[in-house]
């Protein structure tokens, strides 16, 4: 083990001390901060899960007018039934409860309450249906009251926007304001970062093994330590390099968010005092506009805090390390079995196909984290590091998370065992073109 630690130390320090590593580590947080547009829609599969949404309409405007779709049905209910179902939301038949307040026309806000994160497609569909009904009513009134001259302008004024607030009911029954968009952003970012790091640092392990083999350096090294110790030290050392970058980015990102929050708090208090002074000066609209921008920023930060960031962070570190150990072991084995870069590319592609597939499926999972493909790909160890991280911000049952982690741990142990056997044989084999059939034979060789 001490010899593996020496290899680990060498792999870690030689890479961390490079100028390219330092520059890349410092620049990436700013690059991510500049990314303001994330893909929020990508329809790869139709959502065929049947859902029932309970509707309590205090206005009476929408009663019986919200049309059902093929898989989503609306059930209108009086206040007594709504309150009863709200108390037992986690155990009842409703996917969510839609509450339309009596002051809707003044506030343009409705609430959809659920014990889990609401699907983005469902949220958008409800938005469109409510807006369409209100717009049609307004247009009808305008047409009836209009004398025709200003009809076009009046019809344009009937455009109505509904802001649907999603409320998530916690384990203790508490109501927490959630954001489907925020969950999508966190899920996509976490999955993509794991994909990127596993691919980059896994390939780095493969190239390192190939370089030592082609330069014949490994022949000298394994005279002092076992092949498995060399492979293990190389994998862990390079993995710690990636983990160092991640920890820096997490700490740096947390500091940025905290700084923004602290900066906005006094500004908001100052805005309130200014509003009192400007109340009589006719500049109140500017103050309100500025306060609205401040409130939006604070609201975004608050919704991000409601995403159970501790669980997301723990899962992120676990799946990052798990995904890296699995793919780095496989790619290290590939590097030991080949002599040329072209051969490495041929063997590398089949190994990384599941990882590439996971980033493709990621869009469908973000759109519908409860689908069958989302469940199974979050259980398969070759895809679970990326897919499960896309689901966790929406809320994943504890048994699914434990099962996925357990399968991944067992798969890592099996992968490291196989990689060790392949590495031991392949690292000293020269001049022979290797295929997968030959590699499978190596697994049967005795020590």
Q: What is the pLDDT of residue 422?
A: 82
For residues 142 and 155, what is the distance between their CA atoms, to the nearest angstrom?
A: 7
Contact (Cβ atoms closer than 8 angstroms) between residue 201 and residue 324: yes
Whether the Cβ atoms of residue 115 and residue 72 lie closer than 8 Å to each other:
no
For residue 405, pLDDT beyond 80: yes
- Which tops the pLDDT comparison, 200 or 143? 200
> For residues 213 and 336, is the Cβ–Cβ distance under 8 A?
yes
Q: What is the pLDDT of residue 141?
A: 77
Which of the two residues, 140 and 42, has the higher pLDDT score? Answer: 140
Q: What pLDDT is attached to residue 175?
A: 56
Rounded to 5 degrees, φ, ψ at 108 are 55, 35
Question: Which has the higher per-residue pLDDT, 32 or 290?
Answer: 32
Strand pairing partners for 256?
A: none
User: 125, 115 in Cβ contact below 8 A?
Assistant: no
The whole-angstrom separation of Cα 391 and Cα 72 is 22
Confidence of residue 99 (pLDDT cuts 50, 70, 90): very high
- The separation between CA 19 and the C-alpha centre of its own chain, rounded to angstroms, equals 30
CA distance 11 to 204: 11
The answer, yes or no, to whether residue 381 has pLDDT greater than 60, is: yes
Sorted by sequence, the CB contacts under 8 Å of residue 384 that are 6+ apart come out as 319, 322, 323, 377, 378, 404, 407, 408
382: pLDDT strictly greater than 80: yes
Q: Return the ∠ at Cα 400 (arms to 88 and 168), rounded to 5°.
A: 35
Task: State how far the alpha carbon of 357 is from the alpha carbons of 351, 363, 386, 393, in Å.
Answer: 11, 11, 10, 21
Write out pLDDT tens, residues 326-374. 998 888 888 888 777 777 777 888 888 998 899 888 888 888 888 888 8
**Is the confidence at residue 283, as pLDDT, over 70?**
no
- Whether residue 88 has pLDDT greater than 90: no
Backbone angles phi, psi at 330, to 5 degrees: -65, -45
The domains located in the chain, with CATH, are 2-35+184-442 (no CATH), 51-178 (3.40.190.10)
The conformation of residue 71, written as its DSSP 8-state character, comes to S
Contact 234, 11 (CB under 8 A): yes
If one compares 61 and 154, the residue with the highest pLDDT of the two is 61
Cβ atoms of 230 and 222 closer than 8 Å? yes
* Beta strand pairing call for 109-114 and 72-76: unpaired
Contact 378, 388 (CB under 8 A): yes
DSSP calls for 377-394:
HTTSTTTHHHHHHHHGGG
Say which residue, 162 or 262, is predicted with more confidence. 162
Length of the chain: 447
pLDDT: which is higher, 248 or 38: 248
**CA-wise closest residue to 304 among 395, 178, 191, 416:** 178
Which residue, 410, 440, 215, is CA-closest to 333? 440
Say if residues 235 and 328 touch (Cβ distance below 8 Å): yes
Task: Determine the Cα–Cα distance for residues 231 and 175; give it in Å rounded to an integer.
Answer: 50
For residues 317 and 424, give the distance between their C-alpha atoms in angstroms, rounded to a whole number. 30
The yes-or-no verdict on residue 52 having pLDDT over 80 is yes
Residue 68, pLDDT > 80, answer yes
Could you tell me which of 146, 166, 22 has the C-alpha nearest to residue 98?
166
Higher-pLDDT residue of 97 and 420 is 97
How much of the chain exceeds pLDDT 90, in percent? 12
Count other C-beta atoms under 10 Å from residue 176's C-beta: 15
Which strand (E) or helix (H) includes residue 100?
A: strand 96-100
Among residues 202, 205, 409, the alpha carbon closest in space to that of 322 is found at 409
Weakest mean pLDDT among 37-41, 57-61, 63-67, 294-298: 37-41
CA distance 367 to 178: 16
For residue 232, what pLDDT is reported?
78
Planar angle of CA 427, 432, 434, nearest 5 degrees: 75
Q: What integer pLDDT is reported at residue 284 of this predicted model?
A: 43
Least confident interval from 63-72, 110-119, 336-345? 336-345
Round the average pLDDT of the chain to a whole number and report it.
76
Determine which of 6-15, 175-184, 416-425 has the lowest per-residue pLDDT on average: 175-184
Please say if the pLDDT value at position 173 is more than 70: no
CA 190 to chain centre: 4
Under 8 Å CB-to-CB from 72, ≥6 apart: which residues? 50, 51, 52, 53, 122, 125
Residue 177 in this model has a pLDDT that exceeds 80: no
Nearest residue to 225 via CA among 442, 444, 8, 446: 8
């Amino acid at each position: 083990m001490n010899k593996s630690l020496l290899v680990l130390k060498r792999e870690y320090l030689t890479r961390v001390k490079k100028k390219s590593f330092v520059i890349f580590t410092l620049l990436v947080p700013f690059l991510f901060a500049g990314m303001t547009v994330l893909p929020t829609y990508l329809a790869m599969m139709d959502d065929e899960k049947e859902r029932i949404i309970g509707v309590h309409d205090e206005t009476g405007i929408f009663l019986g007018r919200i049309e059902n779709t093929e898989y989503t049905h609306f059930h209108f209910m009086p206040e007594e039934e709504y309150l009863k179902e709200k108390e037992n939301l986690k155990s009842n038949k409703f996917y969510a409860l839609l509450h339309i307040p009596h002051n809707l026309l003044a506030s343009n806000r409705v609430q959809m309450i659920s014990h889990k994160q609401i699907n983005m497609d469902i949220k958008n569909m409800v938005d469109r249906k409510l807006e369409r009904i209100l717009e049609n009513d307004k247009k009808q009134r305008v047409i009836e009251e209009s004398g025709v001259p200003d009809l076009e302008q009046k019809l344009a004024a009937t455009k109505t926007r509904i802001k649907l607030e999603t409320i998530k009911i916690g384990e203790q029954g508490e109501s927490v304001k959630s954001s489907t968009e925020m969950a999508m952003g966190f899920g996509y970012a976490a999955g993509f970062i794991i994909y990127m790091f596993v691919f980059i640092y896994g390939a780095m392990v493969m190239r390192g093994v190939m370089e030592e083999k082609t330069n014949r350096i490994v022949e000298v090294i394994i005279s002092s330590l076992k092949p498995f110790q060399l492979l293990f030290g190389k994998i862990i050392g390079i993995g710690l390099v990636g983990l160092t970058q991640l920890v820096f980015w997490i700490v740096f990102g947390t500091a940025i968010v905290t700084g923004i929050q602290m900066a906005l708090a006094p500004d908001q208090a100052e805005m309130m005092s200014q509003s009192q002074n400007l109340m009589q000066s006719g500049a109140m609209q500017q103050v309100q506009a500025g306060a609205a921008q401040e409130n939006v920023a604070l609201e975004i930060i608050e919704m991000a805090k409601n995403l159970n960031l501790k669980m997301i962070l723990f899962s992120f570190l676990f799946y990052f390390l798990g995904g890296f150990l699995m793919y780095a072991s496989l790619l290290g084995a590939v590097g030991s079995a080949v002599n040329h870069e072209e051969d490495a590319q041929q063997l590398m592609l089949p190994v990384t196909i599941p990882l590439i597939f996971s980033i493709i499926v990621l869009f469908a999972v973000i759109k519908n984290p409860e689908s069958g493909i989302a469940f199974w790909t979050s259980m398969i160890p070759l895809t679970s590091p990326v897919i499960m991280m896309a689901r966790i911000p929406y809320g994943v049952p504890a048994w699914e998370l434990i099962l996925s982690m357990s399968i991944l741990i067992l798969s890592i142990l099996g992968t490291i065992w196989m990689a060790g056997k392949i590495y031991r044989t392949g690292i000293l084999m020269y001049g022979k073109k290797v295929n997968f059939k030959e590699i499978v034979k190596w697994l049967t060789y005795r020590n």
